[in-house]
Amino acid sequence: MTGSIEFPTSEPASQMQLASFTQETLALTRRLFLQLARRPSTLIAGVLQPVIWLILFGALFSNAPEELLPGGMSYGRFLGAGVIVFTAFSGALNAGLPVMFDREFGFLNRLLVAPLISRSSIVLASVIYITATTLIQCFSIMAMASFLGYGWPEPGGLLLTVLTLVILVFAVTAISLGLAFSLPGHIELIAVIFVVNLPLLFASTALAPISFMPAWLGWLATINPLTFAIEPIRAAYGGSVDLHTVLIHAPYGDVNGFGCLAILMGLSIGLFFLIRPMLNRKLA
């Protein structure tokens, strides 16, 4: 057999496999960052929009009575957590777009013809890229919020904030990648992103506490994943990192900090399992 003469070991040792997997994943990630460096507009727009929200909404309610919000928090500080989570959410929702364009322009075929160790490198590159970029966006928002006088969390709170954001970003990235492989084209994907974005924001505790909402909206807000990310971060901004504290008084019961993180984590893992068969099929 001529084929095997050049490649004496038909399967490379597992260590070499790992090195090769790293090589392909880094190369795919590098490509995404090169694209970003040369076309930074989406990254910048992803920061500008929440900054504007922060400034406008913060100003809108700046003269509200002091005891209006639970714990006598200023509206700006209340809003901060919501806007940070919104930034992460809408940033991660875009994760599928580069993949969708690769499908449409046939670039994905170039990857599929190559002898990748595992095609999960394509997915992993997207996850690394989108996690890094959304965290950069979130930190910009946090810096802006701190500049506006809405505070900055303690080190423990900062850790909790980053952890919460990362888990949320994983979950949303999974949704977006799933959509990118199941919708027919980028127009449909952008439409879904557009339609999902704001309603999820409004039906969460990003802009107002549950006590302000009618019962039906309160229900929606307490099952909205964004709320489970917003409340721990809001608590962190309020100086509390005790995960035993009840953060959400939902109609179905109280949810503490652990509960919030566990729900987000479960969602994230569940979604990756859900999209796995589809990714396997499309990338088979």
Partner 1 sequence: MSLIELQEVVKTYGSVKALRGLNLSIPEGCLYGLLGPNGSGKTTTLRILSTLLEPDSGQVHVAGFNVLGNPRAVRTRLGFVAQDIALDKILTGRELLQLQGDLYHLRSSVKDLRIAELTARLDMDSWIDRRCGSYSGGMKRRLDLAAGLLHQPKVLVLDEPTVGLDIESRTTIWNLLRELKSLGTTILLSSHYLEEVDVLADRMAIMDNGRVIAEGTPADLKKELGGDRITLRVQEFSDENESEEVRSLLSSINEVSHVVINRSQGFSLNLVVDDQNVLPLIRQCLERAGFSIFSLSQSRPSLDDVYLRSTGKTLMDAELELAGKRDVKLESKKAMR
Residues that bind partner 1 (CB under 8 A): 1-4, 6-7, 10, 20, 23-24, 26-28, 30-31, 34-35, 38-39, 103-117, 184-185, 282-283
How would you class 52 by CB atoms within 10 Å of its CB: exposed for 0-12, middle for 13-18, buried for 19 or more? exposed
Q: At closest approach, how far in Å is the CB of 128 from partner 1?
A: 15
Q: At closest approach, how far in Å is the CB of 107 from partner 1?
A: 5
Q: At closest approach, how far in Å is the CB of 270 from partner 1?
A: 25
φ, ψ for residue 125, nearest 5 deg? -60, -40
Q: At closest approach, how far in Å is the CB of 110 from partner 1?
A: 6
Q: Which is nearer to partner 1, 40 or 251 (CB)?
A: 40
DSSP string covering the chain, please? -THHHH-SSSS--HHHHHHHHHHHHHHHHHHHHHHHHH-THHHHHHHHHHHHHHHHHHHHTTTS-GGGSGGG--HHHHHHHHHHHHHHHHHHHTTHHHHHHHHHTTHHHHHHHS--S-THHHHHHHHHHHHHHHHHHHHHHHHHHHHTT-----HHHHHHHHHHHHHHHHHHHHHHHHHHHHSSSHHHHHHHHHHHHHHHHHTTTSSS-GGGS-HHHHHHHHH-HHHHHHHHHHHHHTT---TTSEEEEETTEEEEHHHHHHHHHHHHHHHHHHHHHHHHHHT-
Q: Which is nearer to partner 1, 87 or 176 (CB)?
A: 176
Q: Which is nearer to partner 1, 17 or 62 (CB)?
A: 17
Q: Which is nearer to partner 1, 20 or 197 (CB)?
A: 20
- Chain centroid to Cα 113, Å, comes to 30
Q: At closest approach, how far in Å is the CB of 102 from partner 1?
A: 8
Q: Which is nearer to partner 1, 76 or 178 (CB)?
A: 178
Q: Which is nearer to partner 1, 104 or 154 (CB)?
A: 104
At 235, the amino acid letter reads A
Q: At closest approach, how far in Å is the CB of 171 from partner 1?
A: 24
Q: At closest approach, how far in Å is the CB of 160 from partner 1?
A: 37
Q: Which is nearer to partner 1, 18 or 64 (CB)?
A: 18
